């Protein structure tokens, strides 16, 4: 890994208040069986939104496993399928904990989910192992604007996958994407 991948002095950091949502994300479910059209949408917009295409049992299993870790850390109540924060303190530093071992791999490697990934990629899927899991309480300083792939230089055609394990309403913050950012390069500098 080269330091040059992180040093982008020509870029300005993007602040949360700079983000002005101007439209809803578009579902691409109807394109899932047409890889050329799916790829064109991705190139034009920088994202693919797919709803309800993963095996529901594998998603529930991953949710339960992640929430069990959150309960063990005192962030949620044991057995709460919504993962509602209890208000408990969280010391952080758990992103690389063995408590999370295998959760993402089991989800992605489920045969139904691998088939979906293959349709998205247009070839057999090869998942990059997760380096960090993020389990943070709401309204913390860690959930600022960031750009995925920035810390993964050298991965050609990087396509991050975000899978909501619990309902993620707009009131909770949801997920905001910089549509078309894939054509503009990096938007922040962390050197």
Give the number of other CB atoms < 10 A from CB of residue 28: 20
Query: Each residue of 9-43: pLDDT tens digit?
Result: 666 666 767 777 778 889 999 999 999 999 999 99
> Distance (Å, rounded) from C-alpha 144 to C-alpha 124?
33
User: Is the model's pTM score more than 0.85?
Assistant: no
Query: Each residue of 87-141: pLDDT tens digit?
Result: 877 766 666 678 888 898 899 999 999 999 999 999 998 777 666 676 767 766 5
> Distance (Å, rounded) from C-alpha 139 to C-alpha 137?
7
Burial class (CB in 10 A: 0-12, 13-18, 19+), 64: middle
pLDDT at 177 over 80: no
Q: What is residue 156's three-state secondary structure?
A: coil
Nearest CA among 139, 142, 133, 162 for reference residue 85: 139
């Amino acid at each position: 890994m080269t330091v040059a991948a992180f040093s982008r002095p020509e870029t300005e950091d993007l602040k949360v208040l700079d983000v002005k949502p101007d439209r809803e994300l578009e579902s691409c479910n109807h394109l899932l069986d047409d890889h050329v059209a799916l790829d064109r949408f991705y190139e034009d917009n920088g994202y693919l939104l797919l709803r309800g295409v993963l095996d529901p049992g594998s998603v529930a299993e991953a949710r339960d496993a992640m929430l069990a870790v959150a309960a063990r850390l005192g962030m949620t109540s044991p057995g709460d399928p919504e993962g509602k924060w209890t208000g408990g303190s969280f010391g952080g530093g758990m992103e690389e904990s063995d408590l999370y071992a295998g959760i993402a791999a089991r989800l992605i490697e489920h045969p139904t989910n691998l088939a979906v990934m293959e349709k998205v990629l247009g070839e057999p899927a090869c998942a990059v192992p997760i380096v960090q899991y993020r389990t943070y309480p709401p309204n913390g300083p860690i959930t600022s604007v960031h750009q995925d792939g920035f810390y993964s230089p050298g991965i050609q055609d990087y396509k991050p996958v975000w899978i909501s394990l619990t309902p993620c309403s707009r009131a909770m913050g949801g997920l905001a994407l910089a549509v078309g950012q894939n054509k503009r390069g990096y938007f922040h500098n962390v050197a």
